[in-house]
Structure 1
Amino acid sequence: MEKKILSNSIWMMSEKVISIVGLIFVTSYVAKYVGPGIFGQIAFATSLFQITQVISQLGSDVIIFKRISRNVTSGIKLIYATTTIRFFIYLLTSIPVLLFTYYKGDSDGLIYLVACFLACLFSALDVYSIYYDATLQSKKNTIINAFGLIISLILRWGVAVFALSPEFLCIPIICSGLIPYIIRMCYFNGGLKVKIKRRKHKFLYTKYLFKTGITFVVSTISVAIYIRLSMLCLGYMDGASTVGVYSVAATLATSWGFICQSFIKSTLPSIFSEKEHHLAIMKSATLSVLVVCIASPILLGAFIFGEWFINIFYGEKYQAAFIPMMILSFSTVISALGTISARFIARMSGYGFLSKKMLVVAIVSLLFNVVLINYYGIIGASIATIVTEILSLTLLNYFFHKGIVFQIHKMIILKNLFLLKRK
């Protein structure tokens, strides 16, 4: 692994270390203070607007990442062209959600809904972070995100420590998206001189984004929905308190996933830019083996200390989160492997395949969630998630390009067997 890639990965991970510290000492404290009910309302609202946030992106994140990896100047112009589109699409998809909640008469949860709406709006507009990830400058992203995160965590901690009304949590919720967006936008615009000089050129980039992104948008929307279906179905079928417990399980289960994702994001540019097809396959397989090796000791630690951690930091009301947390921890590993496969397919311009596949995944996930939640509740939601991830990673991917993803997975198995023989 190149020194620059390793350095970039470390910077990306350092930001998440702050998130984990906040998770342990702040988020858990707030969750214990407000209880599963209010915590569930916030988690449910966040899930809703994260979906509209993804819809507003039109699948452009991968397209911009790929373009910058190959042509930085063209990628920057694409970034400028996508901002306005994101803003209007986000409003078109989010306002109906707010109006529905208002007319439904759910006044208790409306204030959290509005706060999450604003936070996700700023996150949707923050396309500048893609540039720094794609050009291996995650140090800048880390510093900016860490600053915004620390401010948000301090405000959350203050609400709980001074026993303020839970509604004050709306302030740090909004700040979590607003602060990084403003800083990154000012820094990006001040440091780069690339501009789209004519309206015609901006129109051409916008047209390209729609033409390329529309084939990918079904995929990204389907992903946004299916990874949150368990949360949404639980909210509809079991109520906010169950969502609160499940949210804790999901947060703990995915909190360490940044380690794998950091290496994946830092290695992707070299895979995208690799001209030799067989070398791209080999790099993808090697990266997958690395993900498995990183995840194994973490899973063991979660099994040994997970229940104790939940009882100490979250309290007795969240004890039911342990089993779902373990199931979702395995799902996190599978999801990371799925990211590698999906990006490899994107490298081969398989956007149409991904759109169709992820639509199928979303439908399958909905069916599993409805049935399993009905019979097994919160554990059923976790099982539905991991089964969906397994199908998405394996069987459904094998239909692409004569089973080329299967070749990657076969190479992963062979590499693991080789490592075991050496031991």
Structure 2
Amino acid sequence: MNKKIISNSIWMMSEKIISIFGLIFVTSFVAKYVGPTIFGDIALAMSIFQLVQIISQLGSDVLIFKRISRKVSSGVNLINVTLPLRVSIYLLFSLPVLLYSFIYNHHSGFYYVLAAFIACLLQALDVYAIYYDALLKSKVNTLINIVGLIISLLVRWLIAYFELNPLWLVIPIVLAALIPFSIRYIVYITNNASTKISPRYQKKYKIYLLKAGSTFVLSSVSVAIYTRLSLFILGFFYSSSAVGLFSVASTLATSWAFILNSIIVSTLPSIFSENNKEHALKQTAKLNIIVILISVPIVLGVYLLGGPFIDFFYGAKYHDAVEPLRILCISTVIAALGTVSARFIAKYSGYLYLSKKMLSVAITSLFLNLLCVYFGGVKGAAFATLTTEFISLTLFNYFFKNGLVLKLHKDTCLLKLR
């Protein structure tokens, strides 16, 4: 990897390092204070609207990233023209959820749902982060996110420290999205002069997003569903407390994924811009190797120290999250490798294939979760997640372009021996 990619990765990781400290010293403090039930209520509310958020983006994260990597002005136009469309879709799918929650949820639960609605709306609008990532300017994203993160964590800590009503947590939930979005939007419009686009070209961009995005959104939504199915089914079969335990395990298990994601995101532009098929394959295989090498010591560390960590920082009420944490940590590695494979498929415009594949994965995940959660509870949910990620990475990828991803994985294994 060249110096620019390494520098971009370091900037992306530096923000997440602060998130780790927040997770250790603030989120755990808040979770211990409110208990698994309220923590589960918040996690469930966020999961629902994160799903709506993904629907509203219409796969624009990948489309914008790819456009900007090739031609910045085209990517900027795509961002500006399609924003009203994303807002409309978000509201269309969100309002029925809000209405249902208002009628059927308990009083405090609705406020968490409302806060999640606002936060995810802001995140749905905040595609400006993709702009800076694609240009390898993650320094801008990092500095902006750090400001929002520190303020949000500070407010959370104060609420728990002074033992205020847990409903006050709706404020930092919104602030965590509002502050970065506001700053990023101001910086973006300051540095990008407004360009008037003719109605003809506006229509062209919208049709492009609807056409290319509609094939990709099914894939994105399917991913969002199968990664959250465990939460939803745990809430159905068990309680918010079980959701809270799984949420803690899942959050901790994925807390270090920023290391992998930073490297993946920073490397993707060079892979997307590579026209030589064999060179692109080799670059992607090397990326897989890097992901695996970084993951091994972290997984071992979590296996050995995960139990004492949860007992000390979260308390005895969360001890049942230890085993799921160990399982989900392995799932995090497989999911990162799956991201690499999915983006590799996207390079060859395999959006339709991805949508069909992820729909199949979501259906498989549904049956796995129903079976595993019913019989295994929180641990079963973790096992279902791991199994789903493995099937998604391997079997369901191998039918693309006569086994192109299978060749990628074979090259990855061969590179281990060199």
TM-score under structure 2 normalisation? 0.99
The C-alpha deviation readout for 1:346-395, integer Å capped at 9, x for no partner, is 00000000000000000000100001111011111001001000000000
SS at match of 2:401: coil
Show the counterpart of 1:347: 347
Q: 8 Å contact 1:128–1:185 — kept in the other structure? A: yes
CA distance in structure 1 between the aligned counterparts of 2:144 and 2:232, rounded to whole angstroms: 31
The C-alpha deviation readout for 1:19-62, integer Å capped at 9, x for no partner, is 00000000000000000010000000010000000000001110
Matches within 5 A, 1:171-250: 171-250=171-250
SS at match of 2:417: helix
Q: 8 Å contact 1:196–1:202 — kept in the other structure? A: no
CA distance in structure 2 between the aligned counterparts of 1:318 and 1:30, rounded to whole angstroms: 13
Show the counterpart of 1:109: 109
SS at match of 1:228: helix
Show the counterpart of 2:157: 157
Q: 8 Å contact 1:40–1:240 — kept in the other structure? A: yes
Show the counterpart of 1:31: 31
The C-alpha deviation readout for 1:153-179, integer Å capped at 9, x for no partner, is 000000000110000000000001111
Matches within 5 A, 1:361-380: 361-380=361-380
Q: 8 Å contact 1:102–1:110 — kept in the other structure? A: yes
Q: 8 Å contact 2:53–2:121 — kept in the other structure? A: yes
* 1:382 to 2:344 alignment: no
Shift of 1:95: 1.0
Q: 8 Å contact 1:76–1:194 — kept in the other structure? A: no
Change in 2 beyond 3 A, CA 1:293/1:105:
closer
Matches within 5 A, 1:278-289: 278-289=278-289
Consecutive unaligned residues of structure 1, counting only runs of 5 or more, are 419-423
2:300 is aligned with what amino acid? L
* 1:274 to 2:274 alignment: yes
Show the counterpart of 1:395: 395
Shift of 1:197: 2.8
1:374 is aligned with what amino acid? Y
Q: 8 Å contact 2:108–2:167 — kept in the other structure? A: no
CA distance in structure 1 between the aligned counterparts of 2:142 and 2:47, rounded to whole angstroms: 24
SS at match of 1:164: coil
CA distance in structure 2 between the aligned counterparts of 1:301 and 1:194, rounded to whole angstroms: 49
Show the counterpart of 1:169: 169
2:345 is aligned with what amino acid? I
* 1:290 to 2:286 alignment: no
Q: Identity over aligned residues, as a percent?
A: 56
2:290 is aligned with what amino acid? L
Q: 8 Å contact 2:274–2:280 — kept in the other structure? A: yes
CA distance in structure 2 between the aligned counterparts of 1:200 and 1:383, rounded to whole angstroms: 50
Show the counterpart of 2:22: 22
* 1:142 to 2:142 alignment: yes
CA distance in structure 2 between the aligned counterparts of 1:108 and 1:157, rounded to whole angstroms: 20
Show the counterpart of 2:88: 88
Q: 8 Å contact 1:73–1:194 — kept in the other structure? A: no
Show the counterpart of 1:9: 9
Show the counterpart of 1:259: 259
CA distance in structure 1 between the aligned counterparts of 2:409 and 2:106, rounded to whole angstroms: 47
CA distance in structure 1 between the aligned counterparts of 2:166 and 2:335, rounded to whole angstroms: 33
CA distance in structure 2 between the aligned counterparts of 1:328 and 1:79, rounded to whole angstroms: 34
Show the counterpart of 1:421: none
Q: 8 Å contact 1:286–1:412 — kept in the other structure? A: yes
Show the counterpart of 2:312: 312
Change in 2 beyond 3 A, CA 1:153/1:105:
closer
CA distance in structure 1 between the aligned counterparts of 2:194 and 2:404, rounded to whole angstroms: 38
SS at match of 1:399: coil
Q: 8 Å contact 1:65–1:134 — kept in the other structure? A: yes
Task: Identify the range of structure 1 (47-56 vs 206-215) with the bigger mean alpha-carbon deviation.
Answer: 206-215
2:171 is aligned with what amino acid? I
CA distance in structure 2 between the aligned counterparts of 1:196 and 1:300, rounded to whole angstroms: 54
The C-alpha deviation readout for 1:94-119, integer Å capped at 9, x for no partner, is 11111111222432311100001100
Q: 8 Å contact 1:36–1:245 — kept in the other structure? A: yes
Task: Identify the range of structure 1 (211-220 vs 320-329) with the bigger mean alpha-carbon deviation.
Answer: 211-220
Shift of 1:222: 0.6
Q: 8 Å contact 2:306–2:322 — kept in the other structure? A: yes
The C-alpha deviation readout for 1:301-348, integer Å capped at 9, x for no partner, is 101111000000000000000100010000000000000000000000
2:249 is aligned with what amino acid? A
Q: 8 Å contact 2:285–2:412 — kept in the other structure? A: yes
CA distance in structure 2 between the aligned counterparts of 1:282 and 1:379, rounded to whole angstroms: 37
1:241 is aligned with what amino acid? S
Q: 8 Å contact 2:69–2:135 — kept in the other structure? A: yes
**C-alpha RMSD of matched pairs (Å):** 0.8
1:68 is aligned with what amino acid? I
CA distance in structure 2 between the aligned counterparts of 1:35 and 1:336, rounded to whole angstroms: 30
* 1:46 to 2:46 alignment: yes
CA distance in structure 2 between the aligned counterparts of 1:115 and 1:163, rounded to whole angstroms: 20
TM-score under structure 1 normalisation? 0.98
2:179 is aligned with what amino acid? I
SS at match of 1:293: helix
CA distance in structure 1 between the aligned counterparts of 2:105 and 2:292, rounded to whole angstroms: 47
